[in-house]
């Protein structure tokens, strides 16, 4: 049965070891087609997480602002959303529309993601589905105001989270990772894949 963390539904161990390895292989292909990048926020801050994407649109940021874009920095279209990733969305999202965007976040040693809301999607009534692979990450989620109290939980390799309803616009972030403690990525690090209906 899933765990509820401030309205976020977490399915611990949704993917077994074989499913994680298969997904990882598909994600390596995504990163080969659209290389991971360390973005700078519109404010000029270099983010510690490296990112890429798959699907019709991918999330990018630069001095012009945050947005979903149909091409990556090298000018090409984003690769297709891997089949193994799409299968998770179809199993847990609870909606009958497929996502048009799949964001891939890579956390190396010391990487983290500050508390934020996901508000760049056209219609936030669609859920977001998140898949964690590799090293554990300390996930924090609060409410609709930055000041609301938060709850924390480690997301482990193979965990799947569904962000729907009220929780969809909750402030959330990753405080830290346990670099090198996972068994799925031999080189260490954490991968988080999020599926969205962005446009």
Stretch binding ligand MD3 (CB under 6 A), from 11-19, 84-92, 162-170, 181-189: 162-170
Residue 94 C-beta-side C-alpha neighbours within 13 Å: 11
- Using the minimum distance from each CB to Fe ion, give the nearer residue, 118 or 121: 118
Task: Give the nearest distance from C-beta 139 to ligand MD3 in angstroms.
Answer: 6
- Using the minimum distance from each CB to ligand MD3, give the nearer residue, 84 or 193: 193
193 forms part of the interface with ligand MD3 (CB under 6 A): no
Q: Figure out which of the listed residues 118, 121, 135, 159 binds Fe ion, where binding follows CB under 5 A.
A: 118
Helix (H), strand (E) counts: the chain: 2, 13
- Dist CA 195 CA 131 (whole Å): 9
The position carrying tokens 């090293």 is 135
Q: Figure out which of the listed residues 23, 170, 177, 184 binds ligand MD3, where binding follows CB under 6 A.
A: 170
The two three-digit tokens of residue 85, written as one number: 């990733």
121 forms part of the interface with Fe ion (CB under 5 A): no
- Dist CA 74 CA 190 (whole Å): 24
Burial class (CB in 10 A: 0-12, 13-18, 19+), 175: middle
- Using the minimum distance from each CB to ligand MD3, give the nearer residue, 72 or 168: 168
100 forms part of the interface with Fe ion (CB under 5 A): no
- Using the minimum distance from each CB to ligand MD3, give the nearer residue, 75 or 79: 79
The two three-digit tokens of residue 12, written as one number: 């611990």
The position carrying tokens 């609301």 is 148
- Dist CA 37 CA 51 (whole Å): 5
Task: Give the nearest distance from C-beta 163 to Fe ion in angstroms.
Answer: 8
The two three-digit tokens of residue 122, written as one number: 């056209």
- Dist CA 103 CA 59 (whole Å): 7
Q: Which residues bind Fe ion (CB under 5 A)?
A: 118
| Bind-site residues for Fe cation | 116, 118, 172
Q: Which residues bind ligand MD3 (CB under 6 A)?
A: 8, 103, 105, 113, 118, 128, 130, 137, 139, 141, 161, 163, 167-168, 170, 172, 174, 192, 194
């Amino acid at each position: 049965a899933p765990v509820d963390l401030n309205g976020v539904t977490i399915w611990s161990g949704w993917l077994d070891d074989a499913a994680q390895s298969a997904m990882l292989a598909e994600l390596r292909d995504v990163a080969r087609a659209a290389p991971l990048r360390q973005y700078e926020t519109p404010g000029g801050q270099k983010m510690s997480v490296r990112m890429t994407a798959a699907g019709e649109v991918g999330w990018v940021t630069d001095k012009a602002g945050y947005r979903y874009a149909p091409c990556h920095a090298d000018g090409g279209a984003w690769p297709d959303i891997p089949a193994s990733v799409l299968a998770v969305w179809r199993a847990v999202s609870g909606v009958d529309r497929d996502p048009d965007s799949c964001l891939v976040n890579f956390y190396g040693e010391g990487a983290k993601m500050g508390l934020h809301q996901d508000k760049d999607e056209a219609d936030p009534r669609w859920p977001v589905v998140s898949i964690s692979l590799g090293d554990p990450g300390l996930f924090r989620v609060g409410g609709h105001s930055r000041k609301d109290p938060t709850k924390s939980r480690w997301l482990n390799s193979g965990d799947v989270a569904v962000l729907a309803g009220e929780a969809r616009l909750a402030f959330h972030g990753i405080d830290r990772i346990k670099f090198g403690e996972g068994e799925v990525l031999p080189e260490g690090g954490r991968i988080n894949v999020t599926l969205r209906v962005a446009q």
